[in-house]
Chain A
Amino acid sequence: MTTARFADYMKQDSETHGMGLRFSFPPYPVVGMPVSILREYIEGNDPVTGKPLMQEVMDALTKALPEKLKKLKSRKVSQPRLLKPNTEDNLRRLFLKNGWTDGLPIIPPTEERVAEMLKRTSHAPDEVVGAMSISDSVVPQEYTVEKIAVNAVMAGARPEHFPVILAIASTQEAAFPSSTTSFGRMIVVNGPIRKQLVMNSGVGALSPLNFANSVIGRAWTLMTINFGSTRVGETFLASQGNNLNYNNMCIAENEERSVWEPFHVQKGFKPKQSVVSLFRGWSVINSMGAINQRPPHEETLILMKAFCALRSAATLILDPLVAKNLKEIQGFETKEAYSQWLSENVKIPAGQFCKADINYHFMLPFAQQGIEPYATWYNLPDDVLIAPYNNPKNINILVVGGETNAFWLTTDFAYSASVSIDEWR
């Protein structure tokens, strides 16, 4: 059973997997509805078919299957390597019409442009780099080095950006997995390649004002659209979507102005290695003020309480001035020390954590299995304080900014992966 809102999605899902499942669709929504309404749903009609819901359930379990549902063939769609010749204007329209873009104009990926892009990697064009899908309802699409180059050209990337884009593609992660929650993403680049590509880690690093930051982030979005089988309303069901996906917060860490160890070194890489790291979450809060009235760590306690602390994840993006203050005035010698302090000192009522919808879905099952601390938290009275960011290793700290003021961003982003860029040169 799936709510009526997802009727088309579920029919496609079962066909994609070669199984003609029988569905009944109660009205939408089910979540949060009082028992009286749920009872009405049960006793009423399936809004998709108009038939009594329970009669449908009984028929689904007892009525003989029509021949066409006994065995479905999975759909196989082959894509030609080259598109039919056409004018540039018509090709741009075709890309737009086919849903192969983010809505912005693209650079048509001619063989010549793609060949130029391919010169900046030692990997063969036909090497399969990975497979991606934005949800289980679609067959993962595998992609080669050449396909990645096609999308990189479309994004407006230059050949020198290609190793970073390849590294991102090698994670096989989608920039926006299909979730009704609307994921955002962040790309962080460390190491010498930042300077080589003239990436921005200073003033306006997160603004749409830098070529490399823009096209690298955009390339991930286009790869997700074209490799992940993204079709709005069919396979991609984010209820509102996330504007961060236009370039996935692609930034470089300001290693030169940071008082702390670079992020990639924290993850075990050498300082001179070039690395790209990915993060995933939903929300970003600006500090909205500097650190005059309240020191940044105390202000951050307030900001972090706004999030659901799912799996203890948070990522802070600090201007170098804030990092300097935290180390030299507040005494946090390392990023780890700051994460530890935040882990111990962010406190919220147990009810706030336990009744957050996302925690109900993902942390309550752990509590039900007896896993601590969740088993204890879910048995506490609502007003007892807990420290929900119980794993300081999941509180990540980045230093980005141009020191025009001591601001920072507090996000609920979780760390996902770090990959060597050098391996893709």
Chain B
Amino acid sequence: MIQKKLQRSLKNVLNPQGRPAPGLKPLSILRGSPHKKEEKPRGESAVGIKPLSMAPRLNTLNGKTIYLVDAKFGGGYEFLKEMQAWFSKNMPAVKTVLRSKLGDMFVDDRDLWAEIKEKGDAVVLGVGG
């Protein structure tokens, strides 16, 4: 009798997981700021996730402007500075612009993106982690 009880199937156990939400929600891991009005939202709420195509690639980097953007993780700026030095030494025909993103790593720097769109040809964003 006991043996049978141990082997009895449970037929109605529910799945504990959530389901994908219909839209992305902005997430602020470290919420709170002494000056909230200066913080910019990290993301936009979207109705549904829409895959984006990658931007077309460049034929050549010579004569182009590459923005090297520090994502604000530790060491990123110093690393990209060395990358800028590498371009200067090895590919002097490539113009590089070294910039740090506004705010911390979670802030969306839309002014910088607009500037890059207007004045740049490519972006290297880093260094995460």
Contact = CB atoms under 8 A, between A and B. Distances in A.
B125 interface: yes
Nearest to B48: A74
Interface string B93-112: 00000000011110100000
Contact of B75 (A33, A74, A79): A33
A365 to B, nearest CB: 5
Best-buried of B16, B75, B107, B125 by chain A (most CB within 10 Å): B16
Interface string B24-46: 11010111111100100011000
B107 to A, nearest CB: 8
Given A65-B57, A72-B51, A361-B104, A416 B31 contact: yes
Nearest to B8: A87
Contacts of B59: 62
A110 B6 contact: no
A70 B129 CA distance: 26
A2 B12 contact: no
Interface residues of A, number: 98
Contact of A391 (B34, B60, B83, B126): B34
Interface in A1-54: 1-3, 5-6, 10, 17-22, 26, 28-33, 35, 38-39, 41-43, 54
A19 B58 contact: no
Nearest to A16: B49
- The majority secondary structure among interface residues of chain B is loop
A366 B16 contact: no
Nearest to A414: B32
A91 B57 contact: no
A226 B18 CA distance: 6
A155 B102 CA distance: 42
Contacts of B66: 61
Contacts of B14: 81-83, 109-111, 114, 146, 150
Interface stretch (A130-138, A200-208, A250-258, A379-387): A130-138
Interface of A: 1-3, 5-6, 10, 17-22, 26, 28-33, 35, 38-39, 41-43, 54, 57-58, 61-65, 69-74, 76-83, 85-89, 91, 95, 100, 108-112, 114, 131-133, 135-136, 139-143, 146-147, 150-151, 154, 172, 177-180, 222, 226-227, 311-313, 357, 360-362, 365-366, 369, 371, 391, 414, 416
6 contacts: A62-B58, A82-B15, A91-B10, A147-B17, A226-B17, A360-B74
